[in-house]
């Protein structure tokens, strides 16, 4: 999935399960402000594990 980058805070919510047996996980904010200059503000493998 590719979406246009919109400046601002980003939140996500995970779901576990199937059908009527769904567990909603806590809201998580993805903060990319600490990435070094020159690194795209994308929650990529590099952003997750290198920084």
Summarised one tens digit per residue, pLDDT across range 27-39 is 999 888 888 888 8
- For the cut 80, the answer to whether the pLDDT of residue 3 exceeds it is no
Question: Which of residues 13 and 48 earns the better pLDDT score?
Answer: 13
For 15, 16, 33, the CA distances from 19, given in Å and listed in that order, are 11, 10, 36
Give the C-alpha separation, 5 to 18, whole Å. 30
Return the pLDDT at 19: 92
Segment among 5-9, 13-17, 24-28 with least mean pLDDT? 5-9
Give the C-alpha separation, 43 to 12, whole Å. 12
């Amino acid at each position: 999935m590719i979406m246009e980058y919109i400046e601002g805070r980003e939140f996500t919510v995970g779901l576990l399960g199937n059908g009527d047996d769904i567990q909603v996980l806590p809201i998580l904010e993805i903060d990319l402000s600490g990435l070094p200059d020159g690194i795209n503000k994308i929650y990529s493998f590099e952003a997750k594990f290198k920084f």
